[in-house]
Structure 1
Amino acid sequence: MVDWWNGLSTLQQLFACFAIPATLVLVIQIILFIIGLSDGDGDADVSHDVADGDGAGADAADHVGDLTHSHDVAEVRLFTLRSIVAFFAVGGWTGVVLAGLELPLPAVIVFALMAGWAALYFVTWSIRMALRLQYSGNIDVSNAIGKVGEVYMTIPAANRGYGKINVMVQERFCEFEATTSADRDLKTGESVFVTGITEDNVLTVIPNDEVSTH
């Protein structure tokens, strides 16, 4: 490894400094995705009384049909953690390879940026397509009530905004918008319990470690 690093030019090492960490994060994301698929329903059978304790779960279910892709697909941002990681990983390794071919510096930078941008856009496009397939497969959001999920994008405290969670619904690993009444932000990676759904088809969640207290 040391010999390989020492054999790189300064420009290649610079690109590698972006590519290597991004690739490691990408691998971790893939591993977490696989774990999520295998463990998705492991703790999901918490009593549904939690979801219905204040009537929110039952009332919300009355408002829920199948999601239409126009709401959540439109919310898929171009710059997300996944797409940015893909940008640096693909763009970085492209720069390493092209710099090794002794191409002019401007050409190396331009092609690396183009490759990174293509990867970024592809990841965003893939997520949008996956969501469309998810919705066209008649995913009923009400089936998420009582499930345990994981925060993907931070959920602001006290219903001040929306974040996103990943949760297994109808044997599919799905991503939904979510809000919380908790008095603190729910951070990425935190386990949450779905208590209901708003009229806008946004999941309401609480920290999973607070389930026994409700």
Structure 2
Amino acid sequence: MISDLWESYLGLEPASIKTFVAIGAVSSFVLFIQMLFLLFLGGDIDFDLGEVGEGGGTGIFSIRSIGSFFTGFGWTGAMLLAKGYSLGVATTGATVMGSLILAGFLAMMRWMHGFKSDGTIDYTNAIGNIGNVYVPIQPRRKGMGQIQVEVQGRLAVVTAITNHHEKIENRTAVRVKELIDSRTLLVEPLELEVPEEENLSSEETDLSPQETE
């Protein structure tokens, strides 16, 4: 299968299509690898390449944002050339599409990260709230993950750690226990909480043989 794809790539005409396809394919592969790390390993291999941006892989010069631009740029340019447009038109169209995808990516990431820690939000208000794991959390404070939780009436994505002995997987319900620093929450799986009624029932069951005696 790989050899067939390689032969198809070598057979592309004009030769400039190969450049666009290569750019789109490499960029797509980088984004795919980052997604795998994010979803299954609980880590993030993105970082900012410059001072512009918010940091944490959401700035305009992060690997992820650059990858999103060149993914749109490469595939759009190849498509326009394949339809018979000139190299100049294809390059212009690819640049416009890449810029639109980049703008959409940055807007989405800023929305997902919610408020900045700039004094407009107090994360102690999240204590006691229930959230969902967005990025898997490593056990026993060995690594940080992220959760989506309501804070001051708005859903925010916040860094989180846990004392739990097992990794907390994506989409697991958790309860916020305390604030570790200005923007890091300590959470525990909601399933560990036993309703008070069950505790009372268990105690009554344990005491019943003694009462019978």
Give TM-score, length-normalised by structure 2: 0.50
Larger radius of gyration: 2
> Whose RCO is larger (CA < 8 A, sep 6+)?
1
